[in-house]
Structure 1
Amino acid sequence: MFCPDHNHLCCSKCVELNHRLCQVTPLPQAARGKLTNFKNLSVRTENTLSQMKQCQTYQEDRMKSLKVSYKEHERLIVDGLRVNIVSYLRECETSTVNTTHEYMQYPIEMREKIKYLLADFEKSTIKEKKEELNLKQAPLKVVRNSCIRLHYELFHLHVAIPKLLGKPELSLIASTKCLEKKQQSNIFLKENFPNHVFTVNGKSLHNVKMPSDIYMCQIRAVCALPNGQVLVADYSNKIVKLLSQQYQMVSHWDFRDALIQDMCLITPTEVAVAVYDGVQFITVSQSQLAKGRKLKLQPYCTGIAHNQGDLYICSYTALYKFTLSGELVCRLYDDSSADLTVIRCAVSPTGDRLYITSYWNNKLLTLARDGTLLATYTDPALRGLYGLHVTPAGQVLVCGYGPHTILQVGWEGQSKLANLATQKDGVLGPESVCYSSTTSSIIVGQWGDNIRVFRVE
């Protein structure tokens, strides 16, 4: 039987339990009266199948990235131990070189003992790291396997439908099951794939000007906190402002002469603020802002991002990697061909991809973990490319200052997925963009006294 009210196939037990009040009809009758646009269904199914394949590739890339990261971590630990032991042994041998044979024997025995200890250490370290890696890869494998299963089921239904066009009842069964499986797949993609495209279903305008502000606001950075509150960095007035979940002013911190460039979340209650000559940490507690430590850095800061204990700093033409204590790890990327080639940066949730906005070249650059350039993306809607944000699920959002546009770009950094907002939606000179998973909103910081908030699904 078939229930047109719920668009479900059902048996007598289903009817008794779930469809007593529905206008259930026998399958032959339902098949005669129901026409399916098979061509449209086929196109939509092919699109979902393609996204499922991309999702599978994405999950496999994340697993590979984790494996590479852990192997590098293991190597560094073991190499460090080797260096310390060799140095210690040389010191022992040097201090006893002029002693008797009995004392000379001691460092030799120690060398043998330490060799065994080192071998045991390497085995135990590798074992521990493999266990830790397996724990982190386990949920990714579950998602990957679910992706493969859903793709397999949907693909076979997709292939079966054209073969059943002259058989109304079988066509109805196959098309209904295909629609159900496609719906399951789309829900799965929304939850597990960063190329899930946001859909805007509401917008609002909120004033962020304070009575004490001297100049018109210029919101250069936005940071969404896990509790739903929002921090906005007002470049013109040199103030970081804390807004409630309803975007009402709660508190603020005056940075006086510091030029605020960007912000990023470190912990649920700590934020790092790039202030041109370094990084100022501030904490949020009971809706109040408090000043923390400051890192004085040599390269001027124009952008900042954080991932797993690493700070990424943009400095006009280069991208640097620092520790949270301010120690320079390396320079990851450099482009001195012009000014303002490295303005903002963001990191994928697993840290395997870095994104850079090049204001001068109007380009979005995608880098590997080691700084290797993977992709370059340009778009007429991204002239004056400035603001950049990666959501916790991996969606990439960028701002075009000149065309007044907010775009969603694929996680590969090679294609546009959607125009999320334009000047028609009230966007004017956007300089920053941020997604709040708590409120399912995209918050746009721009030139002027207002921020724009777009509710999305």
Structure 2
Amino acid sequence: MASKGSSICKGSDLIHDYSCSKCEENDLNTEAQHFCPQCEHYLCGKCVRIHGEYFKKHAVYERGEIQKWAGFSMDRCDKHGKELEVHCDDHQELCCSVCVALNHRLCSSISHLPDLAKGFLKTEEFKQLPVAVDKMRYRLDELKTNWTKDQASLKDSYKNILVEIKALRKEINQILDKLEKKTVEQLDSMMEDLKKSIKDDLETLGHMDDQLKTLIEKLQQTTGKNKDTIPYIGFRKCQSILSEANRFVQEIRVKEGMKFKSDESVLPFLRNLKRLGNVESVFSTYVYKVQSLSHYKVRIKKDKNNCSIKGVCGLANGEMVIADYNNIRVKLLNRQYAVIDHFDLPSTPQHLCHTTDNVIAVAVSDFSTINEVYFLTVTKGKLQSMRKFTTDHCCHSIAHHKGQLYVGSFDGLYLYSMDGRLLKTIYEALSCVRTVYNCAVSPTGKRLYVTNDYISKLLTFDKTGQVLFTVEYPDLKNPTGLFVSPSDHVFVCGRGSIAVVQVDKEGKQKVTTVASEADGICCPQSVWFSGQTSTLIVGNYEENDITVIKLC
């Protein structure tokens, strides 16, 4: 950057993040050091002194307050302060000359703003802007009110959880007290038993000792006519008592005391616990319902068959891309849902998804020799092929998350890099049929969703392929279309039940039936949702139109 106060010819290639507005009028290129919000002028050190002499009451921001500079001028770049001159069609961004030089030199489509602005004031899109702004401001005010209420609810939740934690600790203490009591009772009982056993043994020992002493004394005192018989009898009795005493001495065990052996599972279990439980944030789920419903024709003159839309996705500029299975082509729709371009494929497009910028990935397969993923780009209302890669399994569904592709065959789900390298096999069920009809990924990438139209279930997996939850409802008969929005809204359409169902983000249960045959949908096969416009796009089976549903 130029030093403070220095000026060079405006034609220089030197790029400043903010250039002095007054110097630019004199064809000088000087770095701005100040900004006046009242005048909406960026000023160098020299010009700010002149400005201060004329406008003494104007508050001027310095470089240290540069975060306050952006956003004051409608026609100025928020990043660089220069006049907005062009629109990058590839990235859908307004750009100044610095933006183009730094970030958009390689972009294929740059439009001049005056050209784009011609007649724009008369367009319906511009006329509807105040209504859209009012609607969003009302929604934001509504959210602010709800969040204010939520703050009080949050404090209550905190207090209630503290009560639950203390109650759990109390219950654990009671359990431990009970275990301690039972263990002490066992100790007391054993102590009494041992004391009684010792007492009984002492009495037995004393009795035997007395018997032997008495017999020996009598034997030693034997006289008279029975002096031979009596000793023999005494001998036999002594032998009997000695034998009994010998058995007793051999069998008796000396009571050295008692010992305690703790349950070895208790302490490791307690040590392994990180906490008494988990505290989780609880978010309410928006429940959508139909506000209005319209049908738009998507058949073109080149189509030989009725349309069958197996994939739908939207772009940042409001355009839509759909996969027409029956006519073996991808079609581009403008904001009014009219077909403005198409791209023919070598085999049937099974599904598609948005990846980055204006790039679409299309799963193409004839279930035999052609199993490919095509990358198409949308530039100035035209679909163009970029590249492709081949797989060794059929490509029936596809989803993108953070530079990786989840490609589903009829019986498996696989993770690929963007250049076509197989990174991981997520799930396979080769013995069944149509276990993976469609797939989607949660915004965090922690959950994978799969529709199984053969058994009419929605399955939720973790990243390892472990089944977490399954959802099965009459409104989900033969589920095919599946979409998860960036805000975690999960929509599934059941072709057999002619319904679009909203499921909670965990994939545990149905939230509501968003639309059914009674609302005007006919043969739902694919689905896509825009949270920005609360619009649900439904691609139909063997029908020449798509269904656009405004939700509330």
The TM-score bracket by the shorter chain reads 0.5 to 0.7
Contact 2:458 2:470 (C-alpha < 8 Å) held by counterparts:
yes
Q: Are residue 451 (structure 1) and residue 453 (structure 2) matched?
A: no
Tell me which of 309, 316, 335 is aligned to 1:219: 309
Shift of 1:202: 1.4
Larger helix proportion of the pair? 1
Q: Are residue 196 (structure 1) and residue 291 (structure 2) matched?
A: no
Structure-2 residue corresponding to 1:351 = 445
Structure-2 residue corresponding to 1:262 = 351
> What aligned pairs does 1:170-185 form with structure 2 within 5 A after superposition?
none
Distance 1:332 1:283, change over 3 A: same
Shift of 1:231: 0.7
Distance (whole Å) between structure 1 residues aligned to residue 507 and residue 303 of structure 2? 38
Distance (whole Å) between structure 2 residues aligned to residue 377 and residue 323 of structure 1? 30
Q: Are residue 250 (structure 1) and residue 340 (structure 2) matched?
A: yes
Distance (whole Å) between structure 2 residues aligned to residue 337 and residue 401 of structure 1? 24
Secondary structure (helix, strand or coil) at the match of 1:149 reads helix
Contact 1:194 1:395 (C-alpha < 8 Å) held by counterparts:
no
Distance (whole Å) between structure 1 residues aligned to residue 530 and residue 437 of structure 2? 23
Q: Deviations over 1:335-373 (max 9, x none)?
A: 234210111100001111100011111110101122221
> What aligned pairs does 1:368-447 form with structure 2 within 5 A after superposition?
368-447=462-541
Secondary structure (helix, strand or coil) at the match of 1:261 reads strand
The one-letter amino acid paired with 2:352 is: M
Distance (whole Å) between structure 2 residues aligned to residue 289 and residue 225 of structure 1? 13
Secondary structure (helix, strand or coil) at the match of 2:332 reads strand
Q: Deviations over 1:270-289 (max 9, x none)?
A: 00000010100000011111
Q: Are residue 206 (structure 1) and residue 296 (structure 2) matched?
A: yes
Distance 1:449 1:290, change over 3 A: same
Q: Deviations over 1:181-211 (max 9, x none)?
A: xxxxxxxxxxx95832123211111010101
Contact 1:299 1:315 (C-alpha < 8 Å) held by counterparts:
yes
> What percentage of residue pairs aligned between the two structures are identical?
37
Secondary structure (helix, strand or coil) at the match of 2:486 reads coil
Distance (whole Å) between structure 2 residues aligned to residue 306 and residue 423 of structure 1? 31
Contact 2:293 2:520 (C-alpha < 8 Å) held by counterparts:
no
> What aligned pairs does 1:218-367 form with structure 2 within 5 A after superposition?
218-255=308-345, 257-276=346-365, 277-367=371-461
Q: Deviations over 1:158-200 (max 9, x none)?
A: 9xxxxxxxxxxxxxxxxxxxxxxxxxxxxxxxxx958321232
Q: Deviations over 1:63-82 (max 9, x none)?
A: xxxxxxxxxxxxxxxxxxxx
The two structures have a TM-score, normalised by structure 2, of 0.49
Distance (whole Å) between structure 2 residues aligned to residue 204 and residue 320 of structure 1? 36
Secondary structure (helix, strand or coil) at the match of 2:392 reads strand
Distance (whole Å) between structure 2 residues aligned to residue 147 and residue 311 of structure 1? 41
Distance (whole Å) between structure 2 residues aligned to residue 436 and residue 270 of structure 1? 18
Shift of 1:440: 2.3
Distance (whole Å) between structure 2 residues aligned to residue 251 and residue 441 of structure 1? 22
Structure-1 residue corresponding to 2:153 = 151
The one-letter amino acid paired with 1:151 is: S
Distance 1:146 1:312, change over 3 A: farther
Please give the root-mean-square deviation of Cα atoms over the aligned residues, in Å.
2.2
Runs of 4+ in structure 1 over 4 Å off:
145-148, 153-158
The one-letter amino acid paired with 1:229 is: E
Distance (whole Å) between structure 2 residues aligned to residue 412 and residue 437 of structure 1? 18
Distance 1:293 1:147, change over 3 A: farther
Secondary structure (helix, strand or coil) at the match of 2:394 reads strand
Shift of 1:146: 9.0
Contact 1:305 1:346 (C-alpha < 8 Å) held by counterparts:
yes
Structure 2: 5+ residue stretches without partners: 1-146, 161-281, 366-370
Contact 1:225 1:436 (C-alpha < 8 Å) held by counterparts:
no
The one-letter amino acid paired with 1:372 is: Q
Distance 1:262 1:194, change over 3 A: farther
Distance (whole Å) between structure 2 residues aligned to residue 247 and residue 215 of structure 1? 20
Contact 2:492 2:503 (C-alpha < 8 Å) held by counterparts:
yes
Distance (whole Å) between structure 1 residues aligned to residue 466 and residue 284 of structure 2? 21
Distance 1:150 1:320, change over 3 A: farther
The size of the alignment, in residue pairs, is: 279
Contact 2:289 2:515 (C-alpha < 8 Å) held by counterparts:
no
Contact 2:436 2:451 (C-alpha < 8 Å) held by counterparts:
yes
The one-letter amino acid paired with 2:285 is: N
The one-letter amino acid paired with 1:152 is: L
Shift of 1:436: 2.1
Give the stretch that moved more between structures: 220-229 or 197-206. 197-206
Distance 1:147 1:328, change over 3 A: farther
Distance 1:328 1:155, change over 3 A: closer
The one-letter amino acid paired with 1:311 is: L
Distance (whole Å) between structure 2 residues aligned to residue 148 and residue 369 of structure 1? 33
Contact 2:319 2:332 (C-alpha < 8 Å) held by counterparts:
yes
Secondary structure (helix, strand or coil) at the match of 1:211 reads coil
Distance (whole Å) between structure 2 residues aligned to residue 334 and residue 297 of structure 1? 15
Secondary structure (helix, strand or coil) at the match of 2:151 reads helix
Give the stretch that moved more between structures: 417-426 or 299-308. 417-426
Distance (whole Å) between structure 2 residues aligned to residue 330 and residue 297 of structure 1? 13
Distance (whole Å) between structure 1 residues aligned to residue 377 and residue 287 of structure 2? 33
Structure with larger RCO (C-alpha < 8 A, sep 6+): 1
Give the stretch that moved more between structures: 307-316 or 433-442. 433-442
> What aligned pairs does 1:73-84 form with structure 2 within 5 A after superposition?
none
Distance 1:368 1:156, change over 3 A: closer
Distance 1:287 1:364, change over 3 A: same
Structure 1: 5+ residue stretches without partners: 1-144, 159-191
The one-letter amino acid paired with 2:550 is: R
Distance 1:442 1:202, change over 3 A: same
